[in-house]
Chains A and B, each alone.
Chain A
């Protein structure tokens, strides 16, 4: 079971809308980032230090980013992501840390922030199931569940994996199964049942399932068969809401007509 991080320290959660990371790709293939941070409404000490961290698996970079009063990077410090020649799977974290005597206390944090790029359309939704290319042998897709949440991996040897992952037909074939797998991991393996934990990917997934009309998540002492039924009901409701069968049949009909 994963270690639960209970927030009993008063540290504040930085909202996604207040921590926006934008990547710019340069001619040499490298990317640099800019962080648009709105920290004014969190009642944090003006002199507290701000740090932006980029990470992917064990690869990591950390950048000082001014103070709460002035959350800006110094011109002397490069914001080039030299450890990440590609942006695949890179996420960001923003930390606000106390300064001076008693320094080092974590006052506020926003984690698992996906960057946007200057070419991307504006989209600040939290991706419940981000996609990434992977070497999967002869498999087309699979769900990889890591510490930062689930990832829908698509075989990188498909000619254009991004186009495949984004196609509605692919989604119709993968998403209900992926959803079942993720909910089984949360409820039956990790044994997490708290849909109100906003800082956790598990909480976000449980809330998403609730929002489909599956009802409140089962509790810890619920029979395993009932937990499985709830998972199944959530996946079915997802398929129903998105009319997945009808969409797929329409796709087959259009292919036959061509």
Chain B
């Protein structure tokens, strides 16, 4: 299928579907909207997009980054119609049915249709958020593992939220060190205890970064340089 974007009618019909699904969790996915000429237009220059099964948000973000690189002269990150269309295209993965065949869309429409101008909501979109985080580390994606290790339908990762709400999401050293500290690469998930609110936890790590950011240009620091500046409480993660 060619990559499309929804026009206003398409977004409206998609919203109607989400409302219907909220009332009837078995409501069928209206895949016909994806190519209906009154709802969607092809994104130039004509890009093929495939249904793929992604093991986690990182894999999805990589795929989206690869295909969206070919979109020219368009502010992809601010294209509401495009991201709403992608939500429907990958709906089975970002809103999977449970064993009863029910889907839970929740009350947050921004998970499916991005609110790109709202600073604390734009990243909550199930696909746009991972895409932005991936682009920030596309030169070395493994660095950002701690941000994007969740399955496609999990959009509430605290590690992801803590970073993307700050400028630290773009900084190689702080993100790489967070992955080293808090990410278990064998189990592809956060280490036990990473999410604690106390000493050495992720939230505390972000607080310390805020303090260091006043004194240092954190972009200029290497991972080892940053590690050397951290208080003792983080040493337990070093191993």
Q: Is the CB of A105 within 8 A of B217?
A: yes
Bound complex: CA of A106 vs CA of B219, how far in Å? 10
**Which chain A residues lie closer than 8 Å to B133 at the CB level?**
58
Cβ < 8 Å to B, chain A residues 41-56: 49, 51, 55
Q: Is B220 an interface residue (CB 8 A)?
A: yes
Q: Is the CB of B214 within 8 A of A7?
A: yes
Q: Among B78, B117, B217, which residue has its beta carbon within 8 angstroms of that of A97?
A: B217
Q: Is A74 an interface residue (CB 8 A)?
A: no
**Which residue of chain A is the closest to B128 with respect to CB atoms?**
A58
Q: Is the CB of A11 within 8 A of B215?
A: yes
Q: Is the CB of A135 within 8 A of B219?
A: no
0/1 interface trace, chain B 18-47, chain A, CB 8 Å (1 if under):
000000000000000000000000000000
Q: Among B78, B207, B210, which residue has its beta carbon within 8 angstroms of that of A86?
A: B78
**Which residue of chain B is the closest to A107 with respect to CB atoms?**
B217
Q: Distance in Å from the Cβ of B50 to the closest Cβ of chain A?
A: 25
Bound complex: CA of A135 vs CA of B225, how far in Å? 43
Bound complex: CA of A11 vs CA of B217, how far in Å? 11
Q: Distance in Å from the Cβ of B6 to the closest Cβ of chain A?
A: 12
Q: Is B238 an interface residue (CB 8 A)?
A: no
0/1 interface trace, chain A 1-14, chain B, CB 8 Å (1 if under):
00101111101000
The answer to whether residues A95 and B217 also contact, given A28-B73, A135-B80 and a CB cut-off of 8 A, is yes
Chain B residue total in the interface (Cβ 8 A): 34
Q: Is A104 an interface residue (CB 8 A)?
A: yes
Cβ < 8 Å to B, chain A residues 234-256: none
Q: Distance in Å from the Cβ of B187 to the closest Cβ of chain A?
A: 27
Q: Is the CB of B136 within 8 A of A104?
A: no
Q: Distance in Å from the Cβ of A179 to the closest Cβ of chain B?
A: 20
Q: Is the CB of A51 within 8 A of B214?
A: no
**Which chain B residues lie closer than 8 Å to A57 at the CB level?**
119, 122-123, 132
**Which residue of chain A is the closest to B114 with respect to CB atoms?**
A135
Q: Is B93 an interface residue (CB 8 A)?
A: no
Cβ < 8 Å to B, chain A residues 86-110: 86, 88-89, 95, 97, 103-106
Bound complex: CA of A11 vs CA of B76, how far in Å? 37
> 20 pairs across A/B with beta carbons < 8 Å?
A5-B213, A7-B214, A9-B215, A29-B73, A57-B119, A57-B122, A57-B123, A58-B122, A58-B123, A58-B164, A59-B135, A60-B167, A88-B78, A105-B215, A106-B214, A106-B216, A135-B116, A135-B117, A146-B120, A151-B117
Spell out B's residues near A (CB within 8 Å).
73-78, 80, 115-120, 122-123, 132-133, 135-136, 164, 167, 169-170, 207, 210, 213-217, 219-221, 225
